Amino acid sequence: MADKFLKRENLGRLIDSVRNGGARFVAPAIDARQAVYRAISGADEVTWDYILPRNSFKDYLFPQTEVVAEYSIGEGGVEIRGRELSPKDTVVFGSRPCEAASLASLRSVFTWDSVDEFYTAREDKTTVVTVACTNGDEACFCTTVGLSPESVAGSDVMLRETADGDFSVTAITGRGRGFLSAHSAAFEDSGSGSAQKPLFVPEKIEGVDISRIKERLARKEHYDDPVWAGLTRKCIGCGACTFVCPTCHCFDIIDEGTAFEGERRKNWDACQFDSFTLHASGHNPRDAQFKRWRNRFMCKFNFYPNKFNSRGCVGCGRCIRVCPVRLDITEVMEEMSR
Ligand code: SF4
Ligand code: SF4
């Protein structure tokens, strides 16, 4: 049963309440004719007309580029100054269940072995308000990877749209309950009684069997399977699939500046780039695009599930929508299920 109700016309009140409390309100907005997550200052900027924003909200937990330290070299030697982190409280509004589920994967990798506080400090200050899916497209496949349009994993608050366009609101976590109480003036105790709008439930892709994929990837001989080169021949290595993917997390550390002073930066990287595994010697163990693609697929369906017991792919379909050559990961999943 819902805890509260949100009238669509009261979104502005919610945004004001969040921002007056000093937090950032991030929601889907139209930018260059596409819905993207961005920091919002008023309800008129928010769009409801989206399946998933083009970018992932990981941008707000794991920025594309950030300074992690500064260095200078003087007469007293080398001085390294770590960057103090004081992340802003953030509300991500309008997330989808598939994307919220990706938080478990990101958390696993950023706390594996050592804790990357640049990620965890931000996630700890983020409240995720998810809206269950009432629309979708042919690229959505959450049900094939064991999720659904109303999965609650990773969400603090779940909204379900009613037939009259308002929302029933359920707190999922303690943080979600705190959010409802802190912004109670924006919510109603009871709704109009209108029925819930039907959910968009993607059909499970026939012929895809995740356990069969895992089993096949666990066998070493699949590395030499010629099927990889055939399936991924058209990939141009642009990396767009990794940048929009909510679970992709690879980064590089580089120093920018002079020999005497500068910044150490953490920048997104992508396993689809040919320089990703290029050694200083010139040797590249993934010296062909199909090997790079095979690695990404392995990451999703072997490394993540085996190492972290979490999903490497949440079935959001972003990589399919954005790929300039329409390389469809579900086609590879079908082939790997055979
Ligand atoms: S691999 Fe593709 S479908 Fe899977 S989570 Fe990443 S972007 Fe979404
Ligand atoms: S978006 Fe498409 S072309 Fe670009 S790296 Fe990914 S699979 Fe290859």
User: With 80 as the cut, is the pLDDT of residue 284 above it?
Assistant: yes
pLDDT at 258: 93
Q: Which amino acid is at 335?
A: E
Q: Give the Cβ contact number of residue 300 at 10 Å.
A: 25
Tens of pLDDT, residues 154-183: 999 999 999 999 999 999 999 999 999 999
- By DSSP bridging, strand 126-131 and strand 90-95 are parallel
Distance CA 167, CA 188 (A): 10
Any atom of ligand 2 within 6 Å of the Cβ of 237: yes
pLDDT at 259: 87
Tens of pLDDT, residues 63-111: 999 999 999 998 899 999 998 888 999 999 999 999 999 999 999 999 9
pLDDT at 2: 85
| Tokens encoding 202 | 């993607």
Nearest CA to ligand 1 atom 1: 313
- For residue 46, how far is its CA from the centre of ligand 2 (angstroms)? 29
Ligand nearest to the CA of 327: 2
Residues 6 or more apart whose CB falls under 8 angstroms from that of 116 comprise: 110
Please list the alpha-helical segments (H only) found in the chain: 11-20, 97-110, 117-123, 174-182, 210-218, 227-231, 240-244, 289-298, 304-308, 318-322, 329-337
- For residue 139, how far is its CA from the centre of ligand 1 (angstroms)? 10
Of the candidates 275, 276, 274, 256, the one whose C-alpha atom is nearest the C-alpha of residue 264 is 256
Nearest CA to ligand 1 atom 4: 313
For the chain, the 3-state helix, strand and coil shares in percent, each to the nearest 5, are: 35, 20, 45
- For residue 70, how far is its CA from the centre of ligand 2 (angstroms)? 34
Choosing from 231, 233, 238 the residue with most ligand 2 atoms within 8 A of its CB, the one to mutate for a pocket test is 238
pLDDT at 191: 83
Tens of pLDDT, residues 17-54: 999 999 999 999 999 999 999 999 999 999 999 999 99
Q: Which amino acid is at 186?
A: A
Band the pLDDT of 193: cuts 50, 70, 90: confident
pLDDT at 113: 87
The DSSP string of 256-325 is EE-SSEEEEEEEE--TTSTTTT--TTS--SS-SHHHHHHHHHHIIIIIHHHHHSS-S-----HHHHH-TT
pLDDT at 276: 95
pLDDT at 84: 85
Any atom of ligand 2 within 6 Å of the Cβ of 185: no
pLDDT at 55: 96
Segments making up each domain of the chain, as ranges: 4-337
- By DSSP bridging, strand 90-95 and strand 24-31 are parallel
Nearest CA to ligand 1 atom 6: 245
Any atom of ligand 2 within 6 Å of the Cβ of 262: no
pLDDT at 71: 94
Distance CA 314, CA 300 (A): 9
Q: What are phi and psi of 96, to 5 degrees?
A: -110, 155
Any atom of ligand 2 within 6 Å of the Cβ of 240: yes
- For residue 128, how far is its CA from the centre of ligand 1 (angstroms)? 19
pTM of the model: 0.95
**Atom number in ligand 2 closest to CA 238:** 4
**Atom number in ligand 1 closest to CA 139:** 3
Tens of pLDDT, residues 199-248: 999 999 999 999 999 999 999 888 889 999 999 999 999 999 999 999 99
- The b/e string for 224-257 (b: 16+ C-beta within 10 A; e otherwise) is eeeebeebbeebeeebbbbbbbbbbbbbeeeeee
Choosing from 327, 329, 332, 333 the residue with most ligand 2 atoms within 8 A of its CB, the one to mutate for a pocket test is 327
Pocket of ligand 1, beta carbon within 6 A: 244-247, 300, 313-319, 329
Mean pLDDT of the chain: 96
- For residue 269, how far is its CA from the centre of ligand 2 (angstroms)? 14
Any atom of ligand 2 within 6 Å of the Cβ of 323: yes
User: With 80 as the cut, is the pLDDT of residue 1 above it?
Assistant: no
Of the candidates 109, 153, 80, the one whose C-alpha atom is nearest the C-alpha of residue 251 is 109
Nearest CA to ligand 1 atom 8: 316
| Tokens encoding 287 | 């010296």
Tens of pLDDT, residues 118-136: 999 999 999 999 999 999 9
